[in-house]
Amino acid sequence: MKKIIIFLIFVLYFSFIIISFFLNFSIGKSIGTNFLKYAYDMLKLFPFAFILIGLFEVWIKKETVEKHLGERSGSMGFFWAILLGGTTFGPLLVALPIAYSLFKKGAKLSIVFTYIGAASVCRIPMTVFEASYMGVKFTIIRYAVSIPLIILFSVILGRYLSKKNYQIKGEK
């Protein structure tokens, strides 16, 4: 039933866009144009991102991840997660397969959450853009507030899910 509802939503969405082009409805045309623009941008980015993710899967050993991001990594694990998250390129959607790979290779759950948070907040291109428009002081303040909060909530969520024996669906 859920799949049928999702399918109907997609059909309605694309029907609205197509009808908007025929009836010259500007809002629908704008939605369709934006959808095509972003879909094209994603199609240009994703092949390279998934190649890099595949290389990450193959080249980075499980022992390395366990040593630097695992249960015994301590506070340095959070540092490495923030550094790795800051160098992630593209949308957050690219960071999720890497986070899954880190988890599979033995990274602590709270460090995986820190990586996801850092990938959404601390990316280098976004930081440079922000500092050039909002100022370096603003960027430093945002980092000084964001990073400790990311770590704090990652630890809280990691501990909570660990107590609940969290497992990714399909994992054994």
Span 107-156, pLDDT tens digits? 999 999 999 999 999 988 888 999 999 999 999 999 999 999 999 999 99
Angle of the 92-104 helix axis to the 26-59 helix axis, nearest 10: 30
- Report yes or no: 54 and 85 within 8 Å, Cβ to Cβ: no
160: confidence class by pLDDT, cuts 50, 70, 90: very high
- Report yes or no: 108 and 158 within 8 Å, Cβ to Cβ: yes
What is the enclosing helix (H) or strand (E) of 72?
none
Residue for token pair 């240009």: 44
**Domain-wise residue ranges, the chain:** 1-59, 61-172
Select from 76, 119, 80 the least CA-distant residue to 97. Answer: 119
- This prediction has a pTM of 0.78
Residues 59-112 pLDDT 10s:
989 998 999 999 888 899 999 999 999 988 777 888 888 899 999 899 999 999
User: Can you tell me the distance from the alpha carbon of 172 to that of 166, in angstroms, rounded to the nearest whole number?
Assistant: 11
